[in-house]
Amino acid sequence: MSKPKPLTIPSVRQTHAKQFGDREKVELKSGHYLFVQKSFAKTNIQRFLAEYIEILEQLKKNHVDSSVMQNITFVYYMLLLRHFTSLTAIPSKVEEMIEVCGKLIDLDILEQVLNAFDPKELEKMNAYIRKIEENSRQIGQQVGELLNSAAAAEQ
C-alpha cells in the first residue's frame, strides 16, 4: 500500500480527472465516431437530472400535447448524449430533440452509443432518478398532509 499523501487542491483535480476524465472512442457502423464517458461523475448526473426536470416542468407548464409527452424518453436519450458523450451540439428545443433522436434510432446509432456505456454507470443514473422520484413522492405526501391539516384546522 502506498504512503498517504496530503490532500491538496491540485491532487483533488488530478484524481478527479483520472477517475472521470476517461473517455472511450466508439466507432459507429455509419463510419462516424464519438467519445463516451467511462465513468459518470455525480455532479454531471446532477446537471443532467436538473436539465431533464427543468424540461419536464416546462412541458407541464406549457401544456404540451400528448404526442410530445409520449416521446419524453427521447429527451432523456438526447440529454444522456449531451452530458456523457462528445456529441454536445444537441438541440435545445424539445421538438428538435425528438426529431434528431428519431433519426439516431432509425440509423441504429443510438443503440450503438447506449451499448457503449458501462451498464453500471447507467444503473447509477437510474438509481439517482429513483431517489428523486421517491423524494418527490414523500414531499408531495407531506404537502398533502399539511394542506389537509390546515383545512381541518379552519373548520
Instruction: Give the model's pLDDT for residue 144.
Output: 61
Residue 21 lies in a domain: no
Residue 132 lies in a domain: yes
Residue 148 lies in a domain: no
Question: What confidence tier does 116 reach under pLDDT thresholds 50, 70, 90?
Answer: very high
What is the pTM for the complete model shown?
0.77
Residue 2 lies in a domain: no
Dist CA 82 CA 60 (whole Å): 22
Least confidently predicted of 58-67, 87-96, 97-106: 58-67
Measured CA distances, 143 to 5, 135, 149 (Å): 48, 12, 10
Structurally, how many domains does the chain consist of?
1
| Phi, then psi, of 26 in degrees rounded to 5 | -115, 115
Residue 143 has pLDDT above 60, yes or no: no
Scan for cell 446532477, then name that residue: 46
Residue 149 lies in a domain: no
Residue 106 lies in a domain: yes
Instruction: Give the model's pLDDT for residue 141.
Output: 64
CB 114 within 8 A of CB 85: no
Residue 25 pairs in a beta bridge with: 35
Residue 1 lies in a domain: no
Least confidently predicted of 6-10, 36-40, 142-146: 142-146
CB neighbour list of residue 68: distance below 8 Å, 6 or more residues apart: 59, 94, 95, 98
The residue with greater pLDDT, 150 or 104, is: 104
For residues 80, 86, 91 and 95, what is the CA-based torsion angle, rounded to 10 degrees?
Answer: -40
Please give the grid coordinates belonging to residue 146: 399539511
CA torsion through residues 36, 40, 46, 47, sign: negative
CB neighbour list of residue 8: distance below 8 Å, 6 or more residues apart: none
Look up the domain containing 45 and give its range.
37-141
Residue 13 lies in a domain: no
Tell me what the pLDDT averaged over the chain comes to: 84
Q: Looking at 71-118, list the stretches that DSSP marks H as alpha helix, in order from N- to C-terminal side.
A: 72-84, 94-106, 109-116
Please give the grid coordinates belonging to residue 131: 431517489
